[in-house]
């Protein structure tokens, strides 16, 4: 914010007791010190998420109170070594806390729903909690400084029926949305595919290689 950012862009996942927290993934061994906490050693698990197996510790197996005992770490220390100076200084923020910071500093929020279909399958649907959290903050109108984004399709379609807030369909460079194995990325960026997205989303957010192809 001090560098001039207009929005905070938190990736959101869910706790066991249905609180949205800001982590890049629900597997948190890379973004917290959970692996060094013996009291949580027994919760290490292997799970299939969006077609891939991951081994580690997962937010949906922790209450918010338990997560708050952990300390945050830089996820990619080799890529962002300067951020290692902040390792251990902060806890895992809730989306409520992110909204409070945004309100206090006069910036918007641009949350991304991570693994929405996976969380729905395990009984922790994220979208109703997201909208309830935004409502508590007084953020319900299209004019509010809020964009809700997702790489999945179904959750954005459901959100379109439940909110006037602006929605953004994220589009990767290959593969398909996790909840739509029948929908190749290439089809999404055709004129017909974009017209379909326009029925439920206000914008798209695409990987740069779809706009500026790169060679070797």
pLDDT of the residue at 214? 84
The b-or-e profile of 34-53 (16+ CB within 10 A means b, else e) is beeeeebeeeeeebebeeee
pTM confidence score: 0.94
Residue 152, Cβ neighbours under 10 Å: how many? 21
Nearest to 167 by CA among 123, 111, 119: 111
CA gap 202, 169 in Å, rounded: 8
Regions in the chain scoring below 50 on pLDDT = none
The pair of three-digit structure tokens given for residue 112, joined into one six-digit string: 């991304």
pLDDT of the residue at 18? 98
pLDDT of the residue at 188? 97
pLDDT of the residue at 205? 97
Q: What is the pLDDT of residues 151-166, one digit of tens each?
A: 999 999 999 999 999 9
CA gap 38, 27 in Å, rounded: 17
pLDDT of the residue at 17? 98
């Amino acid at each position: 914010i001090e560098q001039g950012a207009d929005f905070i862009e938190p990736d959101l996942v869910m706790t066991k007791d249905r609180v949205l927290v800001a982590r890049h993934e629900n597997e948190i061994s890379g973004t917290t010190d959970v692996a060094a906490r013996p009291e949580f050693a027994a919760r290490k698990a292997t799970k299939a998420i969006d077609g891939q197996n991951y081994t580690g510790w997962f937010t949906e197996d922790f209450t918010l109170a338990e997560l708050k005992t952990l300390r945050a770490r830089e996820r990619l220390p080799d890529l962002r070594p300067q951020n290692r100076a902040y390792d251990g200084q902060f806890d895992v923020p809730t989306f409520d806390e992110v909204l409070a910071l945004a309100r206090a500093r006069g910036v918007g929020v641009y949350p991304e729903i991570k693994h929405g279909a996976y969380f729905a399958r395990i009984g922790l649907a994220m979208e109703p909690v997201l909208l309830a959290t935004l409502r508590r903050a007084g953020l319900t109108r299209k004019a509010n400084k809020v964009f809700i984004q997702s790489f999945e399709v179904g959750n954005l379609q459901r959100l379109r029926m439940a909110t006037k807030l602006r929605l953004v369909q994220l589009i990767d460079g290959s593969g398909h949305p996790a909840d739509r194995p029948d929908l190749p990325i290439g089809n999404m960026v055709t004129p017909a595919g974009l017209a379909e997205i326009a029925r439920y989303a206000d914008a798209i957010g695409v990987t740069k290689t779809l706009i500026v192809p790169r060679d070797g």
